[in-house]
Structure 1
Amino acid sequence: MPFDWPFLLSTLPAFGRAVLVTLQVGALAIAGGLLVALLANGLLAFKCRPLTFAVRAYVELARNTPLLIQLFFIYFALPSLGVQVSGFASAIIAMTFLGGAYLTEVLRAGIEAVPAQQLEAARAIGLSPGQLLRHVVLPQAGLFSLPALFANVIFLLKETTVVSAVAVPELLYTTKNYIALYYKTYEMLAVLSGLCVLLFLPLSLLLGLLERRLQRGHFGF
């Protein structure tokens, strides 16, 4: 069968909406994951064994169970316990749960990379723990964490394809719907592939450029 260009073009508005949903899910999950990572590392800073155990258990559980299983548990299992969660909310919760675990490890590694001599010097000049964290630890830990942080941002955005399993109308869900309705497999896969390249490749290049400029101390383009 010939490639159906008119049909492909007619689907672009729907795919445009799917791109917006993909970006929305990804952005909310990344923001939520960063908040979880900051909270988790704040708990680790107390060096309290029960808190450390709880954080480590969360990280291991989240990283060693598939996102699809986490998503199905939230979407299908919680309603049986009386907690109704929409597909969109399930996607955000599951991806935040997963992303928070990865970003916790990224931030922890960055914090551990801050030289001990700087911490001792900061304490010697009388900085409070809050000032030490805000002015010494987090700025440097953030820079040390940039490569892994940006890699995980791309990873989480690509993982949004999984949320099609709970009827969130992102890119993969839209592709599968059109294939099921019209049997235009090649056309829809071409659109999906093209949009993924247009979405993720420029973002990857932009984050790489931003990383290099920040690490060199340049904050403008």
Structure 2
Amino acid sequence: MSSWAVIQQSLPMFGEKGFQLTLWLSFVGIIGSIIVGIIVSLLQYFKVPVLHQVVSIYVEVSRNTPLLIQLFFLYYAFPVIGIKFGAELCGIIGLIFLGGSYMAEGFTGGFNGVSKGQLESGKANRVESLAACQIHCLPTRILTERSGNGRQCVFLIKETSIFTVIAIPELTNTALDLIGMYYRSNEYLLVLVVGYAIILIPLSIILTLLEKRVRYGSFGN
């Protein structure tokens, strides 16, 4: 059988199974990471007692442990204490746990970048206290940082390839299953690379354009 015929036969499995699942897990993981990131950065920015220390520990643990270990812990260690999640839910929780800490870094940088002019604008709108002015300006900073955190979105999508270790049938797992069954590594790995390229290249282009637009809007260049 020709290589092209092998690729054609594999497309339904990659498309209906691996591609769609990768997109879905990435979407839910990224949205969850953004929400967690905003909450963590707000707690850090306003130094909320106790919670500030808790989220600081979370950030350190999340950033300094591999997603692979986090997934093993969720999927294999939790059932020992009576807590059991499905493979896909473990993947989503792991992605959010990892992504939330990285998103928080970007948002915290945005919050710290609230300018004197923005605070003065807040005061002009009768927002009197410093804290209230900062809160008034935070939505603008969140929107500004969306381009900076775009790189984290790309990173999280690529991290879904690790889900294969807990048998989630995303793109990488689909490719490995097909290779194990039919021993056509070159063809299935090519489809795998193309699949990720279809997701990541348009996203990277969009994020680059968005970053330029936000930068020009912020600095007037």
Q: Under a length normalisation based on structure 1, what TM-score does the superposition of the two structures give?
A: 0.89
Moved more, 115-124 or 194-203: 115-124
1:167 is matched with 167
How far does the alpha carbon of each residue in 1:12-37 deviate from its partner, in whole angstroms, 9 at most, with x for none?
A: 01111211100111110110011111
Point out where structure 1 has 5 or more consecutive residues left out of the alignment: none
In the TM superposition, structure 1's runs of 4+ consecutive aligned residues that sit over 6 Å from their partners are 128-131
Change (3 A) 1:125 1:213: closer
Superposition pairs for residues 1-221 of structure 1, below 5 Å? 4-17=3-16, 18-119=18-119, 122-123=122-123, 125-127=125-127, 132=133, 135-143=136-144, 145-217=145-217
Identity of aligned residues (%): 34
SS at match of 1:110: helix
Q: Tell me the distance in 2 between the aligned counterparts of 1:63 and 1:132.
A: 31
AA aligned to 2:177 is N
RMSD of aligned alpha carbons = 2.2
CA contact (8 A) 2:45 2:108 kept: no
Q: Tell me the distance in 2 between the aligned counterparts of 1:86 and 1:185.
A: 29
CA contact (8 A) 2:122 2:136 kept: no
CA contact (8 A) 2:44 2:56 kept: no
CA contact (8 A) 2:29 2:96 kept: yes
Moved more, 22-31 or 199-208: 199-208
SS at match of 2:146: helix
Q: Tell me the distance in 2 between the aligned counterparts of 1:61 and 1:181.
A: 38
Aligned residues, how many? 216
Point out where structure 2 has 5 or more consecutive residues left out of the alignment: none
How far does the alpha carbon of each residue in 1:22-77 deviate from its partner, in whole angstroms, 9 at most, with x for none?
A: 01111101100111112112322442342222111111100000000001100111
